[in-house]
Amino acid sequence: MAANSTPKRGPGSRPIGFEKPKNLIQTTKRILSYLKNSKLQVFLVILSLIVSTVCGLLGSYFLKPLIDQYIVPKNFRGLALALVVLGIIYLVGSVASYIQTRLTINVSQRTINVMRRDLFDKMQSLELSYFDSHSHGELMSRFTNDFDNVQLMLEQSLTQLFSGMLTFVGCVVLMLILSPLLFLLTAIVLVLMIFISKKIGEKSRYYFQHQQKILGELDGYIEENIGGLKEVKVFNHEDAEKATFSNLNEKFREAATSANFLAGAIMPIMGNLNNIAYAATSVFGGVLTILGHFTIGSLGAFLQFSRQVGQPINMITSQLNNVFAAMAGAERIFEMMDQPPEVDDGKIILVQSSSRSTDPGADRNVLRSGRSWEWKLPDGNTVPLKGDVRFSDVNFSYVPEKQILKQISLYAKPGQVIAFVGSTGAGKTTITNLINRFYDIEDGTITYDGIDIRKIKKDSLRHSLGMVLQDTHLFTGTILDNIRYGRLDATDEECVEAAKRASAHSFISRLPEGYHTVISGDGANLSQGQRQLIAIARAYVADPPVMILDEATSSIDTRTERLIEKGMKALMKGRTVFVIAHRLSTVRNANAILVLEHGEIIERGNHEELIAQKGRYYQLYTGINQLE
């Protein structure tokens, strides 16, 4: 496949296109709003910047009296005193510049710290559907590349832009004072420089915006490819992946070349125009001096300002590239911050009741830790948490065009095990995602202990649920930390007991550091079965009354499956359990088995009843494929 072709991609691919420019002024205001908590330091930065700039301008203007009053008349004593004054001026400017730099770094780091915290907090509140539509690499680029650009702007670009504008205005004013006639010549070149700067700045922002967008997609593709490298090699798609990457990489090169060409061209253009203005001013000013309309000191000071007046324009135009890159990144950051948070209108909360039981089997709403929980209603009354879950005529679709669940009705009494089986895409996992309100239903009702789950606060609802997923995720830390993630206040003894119940204690004890073995890379140093056992132990220590097992044993070999069978029975005892499994031997003892196809329940019953019917479950269980 040619490198410049556009190969087809699988699920998750997104076309590359141009983003419309956002509101630059609004984005700037929003960034500056983060500086409100550093008002005093910002004021001192501005004050120090003004003092530093004024000292620089005074030092240049001081050439006029230095030449006219001391050098030309050969007043050496006066010259010595004048040089001392000039030294003091530059010293004050240096001190002010040092203060400004230190304070700017403090303010920028604090601002970025708050912005990054706000973005992370916002990320925790977003619905899962947002992450389904954005790659991890794209989101990570907002925490890395985009924040780096904003930080560069706050630490350098804003102060240099402000300093450049002050220097420019000061130079213009002092040049007008020295010679309005000579300034006209300089003004012609300045107007040309400003016009060119404006045009290049507009183009630069457009290309930097596009560059940041392509970079986010490129990072997302790389991360996706690394995560699925085994699949790439298994299906021999290396050439196709290389072609796709070359296509993305070429698009990034084109965008980056366009953006950085303008960034590289602006300085030579402005520098040459400044040199032309300086040469013309020298000739015309020299003529005026010979004719007696200008002093030598005034000409020296004017030429100094003529050289300086172009520098702030160069400074402004060069920093505009950083500003545009930062604004493009800030817009992406604020775009994520402005996403609507996960809606939670629930008023009913989960509270720990005052009663405690020493016999966990005495009452199903009492967890194995001896804690008893209740649903606290808005009127102050309470309902015991038992784990009674019921669906009534539930409809759901991820997108309007494709309905996933159709008129689903089921019930799970406290302590029952309900199994879902069916073909891939039948809607089994979707049902469990609706129980914990990762997504909200369109029609029908789901009740939990007789309460509509939409009336329960999501934190409380999810606190009462435990999940063991097919794709186990482990965090960087010790095995003990990962087990304790199920309940952060669990003791070491409770975590070890949970591992024993999940049959994970044996292999953990054989590790070099035991429970203190550090896991990294999502548990890459453990087998898939071992990672699954830790996930089961983590769910066990959470001790919820309702457990969801989504293909929990699909990645475990037969020997490991037998090891955890006893622990799984203990885990399920006294709980309401929803099980999703392709390995049907794991659901034989379920109280009820629901067979789903195309989002509908087509069969229900226990194992013996469904086998006797010789329907779809019988086909799945025996492996018989019949034509419909």
| pLDDT the model gives residue 561 | 65
- Give the residue carrying structure tokens 């620089």: 56
| pLDDT the model gives residue 528 | 78
Q: How do strand 576-580 and strand 546-550 relate by DSSP bridges?
A: parallel
Residue-wise pLDDT tens digits, 116-143: 999 999 998 888 878 877 877 788 888 9
Does 626 have pLDDT greater than 60?
no
CATH 2.60.260.20 for domain 389-622, yes or no, is: no
pLDDT band at 355 (very low <50, low <70, confident <90, very high): low
Selected residue with higher pLDDT from 586 and 52: 52
204-208, 401-405, 492-496: least confident range = 204-208
9-18, 284-293, 591-600: least confident range = 9-18
Does 361 have pLDDT greater than 50?
no
24-33, 314-323, 353-362, 548-557: least confident range = 353-362
Give span(s): CATH 3.40.50.300, the chain: 389-622
| pLDDT the model gives residue 284 | 81
Q: What percent of the chain has pLDDT over 90?
A: 20
Selected residue with higher pLDDT from 396 and 181: 396
Residue-wise pLDDT tens digits, 591-617: 899 999 988 999 999 889 999 998 888
* Long-range pairs, 24-28, Cβ under 8 A, ≥24: 24/205, 24/327, 27/327, 27/330, 27/331, 27/334, 28/327
Does 270 have pLDDT greater than 80?
no
Mean pLDDT (whole number) for 317-344: 85
| pLDDT the model gives residue 371 | 58
Q: Whose CA is closest to 579, among 530, 539, 625?
A: 539
Three-state SS for 346?
coil
Selected residue with higher pLDDT from 44 and 137: 44
Q: Which two tokens stand for residue 373?
A: 């929980």
Taking the CB of residue 570, how many other CB atoms lie within 10 A of it? Answer: 15
| pLDDT the model gives residue 285 | 82
Distance of CA 104 to the CA centre of its chain: 25
Does 92 have pLDDT greater than 90?
yes
Taking the CB of residue 34, how many other CB atoms lie within 10 A of it? Answer: 18
Does 298 have pLDDT greater than 50?
yes
Mean pLDDT (whole number) for 264-281: 77
User: ∠ at Cα 488 (485, 493), nearest 5°?
Assistant: 90
Alpha carbon of 562 to those of 382, 553, 559: distances in Å? 41, 10, 5
Q: Is the pTM of the predicted complex or chain greater than 0.85?
A: no
117-126, 224-233, 245-254, 565-574: least confident range = 565-574
Mean pLDDT (whole number) for 348-368: 54
The Cα–Cα gap between 526 and 622 comes to 33
Angle, helices 528-542 vs 492-501, to 10°: value is: 120
Give span(s): CATH 1.20.1560.10, the chain: 35-337
Q: What is the CATH number of domain 35-337?
A: 1.20.1560.10
CA-CA-CA-CA torsion for 171, 177, 179, 185, nearest 10 degrees?
40
271-280, 284-293, 348-357, 484-493: least confident range = 348-357
Q: What percent of the chain has pLDDT over 70?
A: 88
Q: Whose CA is closest to 192, among 269, 282, 81, 287?
A: 269
Contact 502, 537 (CB under 8 A): yes
What are the beta bridge partners of residue 596? 422, 601
Does 173 have pLDDT greater than 80?
yes
Contact 370, 543 (CB under 8 A): no
H, E, C per residue of 477-498: EEHHHHHHCCCCCCCHHHHHHH
Question: Helical H runs in 359-478?
Answer: 428-435, 458-463
DSSP characters over 201-237: HHHHHHHHHHHHHHHHHHHHHHHHHHHTHHHHHHTT-
Per-chain mean pLDDT for the chain: 81
| pLDDT the model gives residue 564 | 60
| pLDDT the model gives residue 36 | 84
